[in-house]
Structure 1
Amino acid sequence: MSTELWRTRVLMRTLTKKRIRTQVSREALLRVRRGVYARQVCDDENELRALMLCLPEEAMLTMQSAARRHGFGVLPEGAVHVQVPPEVSRPRLPGLVVHHSVLPVRPVMIRGLPCVPAAQCAVDLARTVRRWDAMPVLDAALRTRAVARDDLFHELTMHRGLRGVRQARDLVALADGRAECRQESQLRLVLIDGGLPAPEPQVWVQDECGVPRFRIDLGYRERRVGIEYDGLSHLDRERLRHDRDRVNWLDASGWRMRYFTDRDLYRRPAQIIATVRAALT
């Protein structure tokens, strides 16, 4: 819920500086940030609104901070990311990362916060973060329908010549909104970068009556090879029972299933590639 915030200059239309200090000491006013006050404790969103009041009026959220507001914040924020025009000095505040904008941009307002548009945010991340992290961003942007693929390709033309645009162009061509989590996107990228054909995300397997029975994270439908990422949710006892029934049914239906965990994904990607290549051949 949005909390009303006031700058010092607004309060001083009706209160003196001494009166403001008195209300703060009595907790009738709360100092959220230097020069910004509220009547009640602020949550994270209102803390962010207070921060934006301390920045130049041209500032807007970008990178991970904007991606979160657009609905595809799959990367940790760590800090608040904002961008300002090149002619504006970079503000220096704790927990703030300031980028100078390279391209002209008109912000969009999301819950009262100015953000770079979704397509620009996605492409900015795709060209500046590691390839490993960029793929989940693009997949999530498509999955949440924050952008369409054509929006991304159009945005790429605006970024021509900028650092990292080649990586962004390669990954936009591979992006798939069917991926349901960051690890699925990364697992698919491991296989593609390992020289294997791109697997299909979220493959439905039908029974003999043509009714969809089970869904596989990644699969090669013609070869009947399925690939699953097992996260923490698979440790639940009821989920384990379901998984065993599912594995037996898929095996009886001619599917060769291969399962990987975080240790494989983050420490042994070569083992993943070799295992899946062997299953395909």
Structure 2
Amino acid sequence: MNGQVVRARRGVYANCPVDDLDALQALLLCLPSEAMLSRHTAARLHGFGVLSEGAVHVQLPPEIPKPRLPGLVVHHAALPVEPVLVSGLPCVPAARCAVDLARTARRLDALPVLDAAVRAGAVCRDDLIEEVLAHRALPGVRQARSLVPLVDGRAECRQESQLRLVLIDGGLPVPESQVWVLDGEGIRRFRLDLGYRERQIGIEYDGLSHLNRDRLRYDRDRANWLAAEGWTMRYFTDRDLYRRPAHIVTTIRALLP
């Protein structure tokens, strides 16, 4: 940059363009050495950042006062933990990060975090079970404990996890995730978000990607083929998921014996 200096953070400067990792490193230089990235921020670095959060989250031991900096959220650690390095930055370990979010986020957002953590390969179910046991005296651990048995790393997006949870919390059987439908020759033809294979019931979340004209044509061809093969399909949107979840449960319950 021809010697040009870039301000990465107040009091911290660099002689090259600053990316997100550089900005986090600059922030950590302004904090006590015990600070480690946590919650939403650590989840993103670990590969399961499905919950958006503009602030940077860090964790400190309880005896260290919380610094006050713009865009910073500081959590005092209730349990001791050793940091791990992710992209060269000290982070709360993946299992601790996932369970911290699972016990503090609203229930509908907590399961997507756990699903995504497993899907990313950052943790396995046993890691989560062990971590929940360590959190047994902390607020919100009951929610995390109830969600760990429902974790499914096959879920491909936050809304799919949320749709599955709505069905389970509505008292319906646990649907299968990422259901492959085979043609008459046993070849995989289409994959459904959720389904009850024995009843040939498929359940899909329609997001913004389904508004594309080419995608709409594909969806119509797929819907027609599935109907001809005896599948009953039901499609839900963000309006159903976030404003009228009872409608989802009622709709699917009517199709089940």
Instruction: Tell me if both proteins adopt one fold, taking TM over 0.5 as the criterion.
Output: yes
Q: In the aligned structure 1, how far is the partner of 2:150 from the partner of 2:7?
A: 47
Cα distance, 1:191–1:31 mapped onto 2, change above 3 Å: same
Q: Indicate the RMSD between aligned Cα atoms, in angstroms.
A: 1.2
In 1, Cα distance between the equivalents of 2:238 and 2:70? Answer: 33
Structure 1 vs Structure 2: percent identity of aligned residues?
Answer: 71
Match of 1:222, SS state, is: helix
The answer for unaligned runs of 5 or more in structure 1 is: 1-25
Report the AA paired with residue 54 of structure 2: G
What is the count of residue pairs matched by the alignment?
256
Question: SS at 1:94's partner residue?
Answer: coil
- Give the unaligned 5+ runs of structure 2: none
Range with greater deviation from structure 2 (166-175 or 28-37): 28-37
Q: 2:41 aligns with which of 60, 65, 76?
A: 65
Q: Of residues 168, 173, 192 in structure 1, which corresponds to 2:144?
A: 168
The equivalent of 1:274 in structure 2 is: 250
* Counterparts of 2:192 and 2:7, CA distance in 1: 51
CA offset at residue 78 of structure 1? Answer: 1.9
**Which residue number corresponds to residue 126 of structure 2?**
150
For the residue of structure 1 that corresponds to 2:204, the secondary structure is strand
Question: Partner residue of 2:217?
Answer: 241
Decide which of 102, 115, 118 is 1:126's aligned counterpart: 102
**Counterpart for residue 52 of structure 1:** 28
TM-score, length-normalised on structure 1? 0.89
Structure 1 position 29, deviation (Å): 2.8
Partner of 2:163: 187
Question: Is it true that 1:82 corresponds to 2:58 in the alignment?
Answer: yes
Aligned to 2:184: 208
| One of 227, 231, 235 as aligned partner of 1:259 | 235
Provide the C-alpha distance between the structure 2 equivalents of 1:127 and 1:31, rounded to a whole number of angstroms. Answer: 37
TM-score scaled by length of structure 2: 0.97
Secondary structure in 2 matching 1:77: coil
Letter in 2 for 1:125: L
Q: Secondary structure at the match of 1:279?
A: coil
Q: Secondary structure at the match of 1:198?
A: coil
Deviation of 1:28 after TM superposition, in Å, equals 3.6
What is the deviation of 1:47? Answer: 1.3
The whole-number CA distance in structure 2 between the counterparts of 1:201 and 1:30 is 47
- The higher radius of gyration belongs to 1
Alpha-carbon distance in structure 1 between the residues aligned to 2:219 and 2:6: 52
Letter in 2 for 1:266: Y
CA contact (8 A) 2:6 2:18 kept: no
Q: State the shift of 1:145 in Å.
A: 0.9
Which whole-Å deviations, capped at 9, do the CAs of 1:126-178 have from their partners, x for residues lacking one? 01111011010000001111101111111111111111111001101101001
Q: Which runs of 4+ in 1 moved over 3 A?
A: none
User: Matches of 1:50 and 1:70 in 2, distance apart?
Assistant: 19
